[in-house]
């Protein structure tokens, strides 16, 4: 082991190359790209065709077969939030994504899980539905955004520029890489999701986040995202209008999954969506 | 450990529900760490308490760990919190040390993955009689999940190696649910995941586990009750 203070990873290992398998439209991939940039870590990027995944990806992520996967020192790391925490652990001398305090870390983890378990699928449901089903999905998104707005206004993140404080942290990366879909979906579906009047603090945070250099370097141009979203929306709606307008918002992600290839759906709504976490009071 | 005299500024209260495997994760971790706490049973089938609604307004779910009055929600976040807030507590940390970031990442990955046992298992008993195709899918999923966990465990004593660690604590509360899942799904854990089955028997010998988990019969009774509540045949 190294004799330096921060010997979490011996210098030889920390200096070993990083390779990221990702997909250009995947917000989960963007999380890792952004985190690497924020930490000033060089990496090789390999674009995956999610409709025809490479042998290497499948070897690296046999359990989920998804992007992103980060390969470092011969080891493969899947799952974006796991990867982000790994970056903190393996490069402790770089700017940390997680706060130092245990309670603050728990809070950040809680809201990251909320982003992936609740907000993300709700946004995906808006995109995959029309009519009554979509209205219900929009209400769900608004409820979720209201919870985050409340935390920014009176709760854990009161008075902060970013969720991480003066600088972006884990939750900014997780929420931010994905929130750009809100504006894209608004444009494509004609539905209002982030009303600056209803969610002023969230709106302000998102603008501040999107203005950062590292974020501008990571998020694809909005034209590409719009084209992509229009294509998927068209496919979703034309492939099965009946299923796409299912009355219950909970059906929409499942409908979307049936209608789209797994690869397209992966990009949109992420690993947790469509699995239908059981209703109940246990977590 | 529950009910011991505590200093107010370090007081730990666990809002929980007797059969909740997510709550049991916390109970087991608290016991392994020798941390005294007050156990507060929540009536989830009736009206939720003001304390629960205030402590977890977002999800209104258990478990919630209150530490000097401040709530920590979500079982896996609570486990990480216990490691980080009580570094001097008894026993090894649940997570591998910072000297091995990859082992930590693996532990986080598989601890989160263990949730899928419960998700797939729940789908099995929630399905109505006529949903044969969905049932086959749920069965295929739980078999795959258990197989993956079996492979990850390999020949190790615990997922944490010699240490009864994060993944072990995260997964073990689902063990009493497995006989019910086996029956509803018509599969066998012994056949599907024999190393996991042996691991489950080893874990049952630990005091923290034996004291925290309920027998499969009790869990099965609870499932039957829930099916009535949800109106499932």
Residue of A nearest to B17 (CA): A282
Quickly count: other Cβ atoms within 10 Å of residue A101's Cβ.
12
Residue A3 has pLDDT above 80, yes or no: no
Cβ contact (<8 Å) for B102 and A281? no
Q: How many CB pairs under 8 A join A and B?
A: 100
Residue A260 has pLDDT above 80, yes or no: no
Rounded to whole angstroms, the Cα distance separating A263 from B38 reads 47
DSSP A124: H
Question: What is the arithmetic mean of pLDDT over B27-32?
Answer: 98
Q: Which residues of A touch B131 (CB under 8 A)?
A: none
Which candidate, A1, A11, A2, A171, places its Cα nearest to that of A91? Answer: A11
Q: Which residues of B touch A105 (CB under 8 A)?
A: 80-81, 84
List the single best residue of B35, B105, B126, B223 to mutate versus A (max A Cβ within 10 A): B105
Return the pLDDT at A11: 59
Higher pLDDT, A4 or A170: A170
Return the pLDDT at A156: 95
Rounded to whole angstroms, the Cα distance separating B147 from B141 reads 10
Q: How is residue A96 written in tokens? A: 């940390």
Rounded to whole angstroms, the Cα distance separating A151 from B188 reads 46
Minimum-distance CB partner of A103 among B48, B62, B70: B70
Q: Which residues of B touch A90 (CB under 8 A)?
A: 101-102
Cβ contact (<8 Å) for A86 and B72? no
Q: Specify the pTM.
A: 0.88
Q: B46-83 pLDDT, tens per residue?
A: 899 999 999 999 999 999 999 999 999 999 999 999 99
Is B104 touching A (CB cutoff 8 A)? yes
Residue A223 has pLDDT above 90, yes or no: yes
Above pLDDT 90, what percent of chain A? 70
Rounded to whole angstroms, the Cα distance separating A198 from A193 reads 10
Query: pLDDT category, A186, cuts 50, 70, 90?
Result: very high
Please report, for residues A14, A86, A240, B226, the alpha-carbon distance to residue A9 in angstroms, rounded to integers and kept in the order given: 6, 11, 51, 48
Give A115→chain B minimum CA distance, Å: 12
Return the pLDDT at B6: 66
Give A78→chain B minimum CA distance, Å: 8
- Average pLDDT of the residues of chain B: 94
Question: What is the arithmetic mean of pLDDT over A210-220?
Answer: 95
Question: What are the structural domains, with CATH classification, of chain B?
Answer: 12-85 (3.40.30.10), 101-229 (1.20.1050.10)
How many alpha carbons fall within 13 Å on the CB side of residue B151?
A: 8
Q: B126-172 pLDDT, tens per residue?
A: 988 778 899 999 999 999 999 999 999 999 999 999 999 999 999 99
Residue of A nearest to B141 (CA): A275
Residue of A nearest to B97 (CA): A8
Residue A257 has pLDDT above 50, yes or no: no
């Amino acid at each position: 082991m190294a004799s330096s203070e921060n010997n979490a990873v011996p210098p030889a290992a920390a200096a070993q190359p990083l390779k990221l398998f990702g997909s250009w439209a995947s917000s989960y991939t963007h999380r890792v790209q952004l985190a690497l940039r924020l930490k000033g870590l060089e990496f090789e990027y390999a674009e995956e065709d999610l409709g025809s995944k490479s042998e290497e990806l499948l070897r690296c992520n046999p359990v989920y077969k998804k992007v992103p996967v980060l390969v470092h020192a011969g080891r493969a790391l899947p799952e974006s939030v796991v990867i982000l925490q790994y970056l903190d652990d393996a490069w402790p001398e770089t700017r940390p994504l997680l706060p130092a305090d245990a309670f603050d870390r728990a809070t950040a983890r809680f809201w990251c899980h909320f982003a992936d378990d609740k907000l993300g699928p709700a946004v995906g449901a808006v995109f995959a539905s029309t009519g009554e089903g979509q209205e219900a999905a929009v209400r769900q998104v608004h409820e979720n955004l209201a919870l985050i707005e409340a935390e920014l206004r009176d709760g854990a993140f009161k008075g902060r520029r970013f969720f991480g404080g003066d600088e972006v942290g884990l939750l900014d990366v997780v929420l931010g890489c994905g929130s750009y879909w809100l504006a894209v979906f608004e444009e494509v579906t004609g539905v209002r999701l982030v009303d600056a009047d209803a969610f002023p603090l969230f709106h302000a945070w998102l603008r501040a986040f999107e203005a950062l250099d590292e974020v501008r370097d990571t998020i694809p141009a909005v034209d590409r995202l719009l084209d992509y979203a229009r294509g998927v929306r068209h496919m979703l709606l034309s492939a099965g209008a009946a299923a796409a307008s299912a009355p219950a918002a909970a059906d929409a992600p499942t409908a979307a999954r049936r209608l789209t290839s797994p690869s397209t759906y992966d990009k949109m709504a992420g690993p947790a969506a469509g699995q239908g976490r059981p209703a109940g009071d246990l977590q | 450990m529950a009910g011991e005299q505590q200093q107010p500024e370090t007081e730990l209260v666990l809002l929980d529900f007797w059969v909740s495997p997510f709550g049991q994760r916390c109970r087991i971790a608290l016991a392994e760490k020798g941390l005294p706490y007050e156990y507060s049973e929540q009536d989830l089938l009736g009206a939720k308490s003001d304390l629960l609604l205030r402590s977890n307004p977002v999800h209104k779910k258990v478990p919630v760990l209150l530490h000097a009055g401040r709530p920590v929600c979500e079982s896996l976040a609570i486990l990480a919190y216990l490691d980080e807030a009580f570094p001097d507590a008894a026993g090894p940390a649940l997570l591998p040390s910072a000297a091995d970031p990859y082992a930590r990442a693996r532990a986080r990955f598989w601890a989160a993955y263990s949730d899928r046992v419960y998700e797939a298992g729940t789908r099995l008993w929630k399905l109505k009689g006529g949903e044969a195709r969905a049932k086959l899918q749920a069965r295929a999923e739980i078999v795959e999940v258990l197989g993956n966990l079996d492979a990850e465990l390999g020949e190790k004593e615990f997922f944490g190696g010699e240490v009864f660690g994060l993944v072990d604590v995260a997964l073990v509360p689902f063990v009493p649910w497995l006989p019910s899942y086996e029956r509803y799904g018509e599969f066998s854990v012994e056949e599907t995941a024999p190393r996991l089955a042996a691991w489950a028997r080893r874990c049952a010998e630990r005091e923290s586990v034996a004291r925290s988990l309920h027998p499969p019969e009790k869990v099965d009774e609870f499932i039957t009750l829930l099916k009535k509540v949800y109106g499932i045949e």
